[in-house]
Amino acid sequence: MTTNITFQLNGREKTVQAHPMARLLDVLRQDCSLTGTKEGCGEGECGACTVIIDGRAVMSCMVPVCQVHGSKVESIEGLESMGADGQTCLHLIQEAFIKCGGAQCGICTPGMIMAAVAYLRQPESAPGGVAEALEGNLCRCTGYTRIFESVKTAIDRMKTGANQSR
Ligand code: FES
Ligand code: FES
């Protein structure tokens, strides 16, 4: 049995017809054609599927889509914006991942970036550091040095005023 579920997706109202217990991850990838959100473990262990729901980084493989009815959902695709010149602008964290080599394999990267965005939006005094903010996001191959460096670079850029509005 399917039902209509309405939520805000990347700033726009979206209604999908889905089984209430369908995984948000599948609804995003299959019903919404947003394949930037990746599946790693499918068991809430790796963070590859991380999206932001009502301001919190959440693993979308563990969320039945009925739970986001009326919520604000952000996926990796929602981070880009349109510049005044009509060109696509990346979010500063995306730019930092490119600059610092934090985008390593493509599977874990979108989840890392979404967790980092949720962290960057916290007040400066937010407890915990970058490592704690990303502790739910696993890298199984290359390591965390460049990933953490990317987030720290984005923080430095925020402090100097670049892309502060995002
Ligand atoms: S795919 Fe969701 S936590 Fe691994
Ligand atoms: S698993 Fe993606 S960089 Fe290691």
pLDDT for the residue 165 = 44
pLDDT at 73: 98
Please tell me the distance between residue 36's alpha carbon and the centre of ligand 2 in angstroms: 15
Note whether 9 and 32 are within 8 A (CB). yes
CATH class of 81-159: mainly alpha
C-alpha of residue 117 to centroid of ligand 1, in Å = 18
Instruction: Tell me 2's DSSP state.
Output: -
Could you give the CA distance from residue 76 to residue 94 in angstroms, rounded to a whole number? 10
In this predicted structure, what is the pLDDT of residue 123?
Answer: 73
Q: Which fold has domain 3-79?
A: Ubiquitin-like (UB roll) (3.10.20)
Binding site membership of 41 for ligand 1 (Cβ less than 6 Å): yes
CA 135, 63, 71, 102 torsion-angle sign = positive
Q: What is the pLDDT, as a whole number, of residue 1?
A: 92
Of 60, 73, 71, 66, which is closest to residue 20 (Cα–Cα)?
66
- Report whether residue 110 contacts ligand 1, using a CB cutoff of 6 Å: no
| Ordered mean pLDDT values, 10 residues apiece, the chain (166 residues) | 97 98 98 98 98 98 98 96 84 95 94 95 76 93 94 89 54
pLDDT at 125: 57
At 85 the pLDDT is 83
Query: In ligand 1, which atom is closest to the CA atom of 62?
Result: 2
What is the residue extent of each domain of the chain? 3-79, 81-159
pLDDT at residue 109, as a whole number: 96
Q: How far is the CA of 94 from the centre of ligand 1 (A)?
A: 21
Q: Which residues pair with 5 in a beta bridge?
A: 16
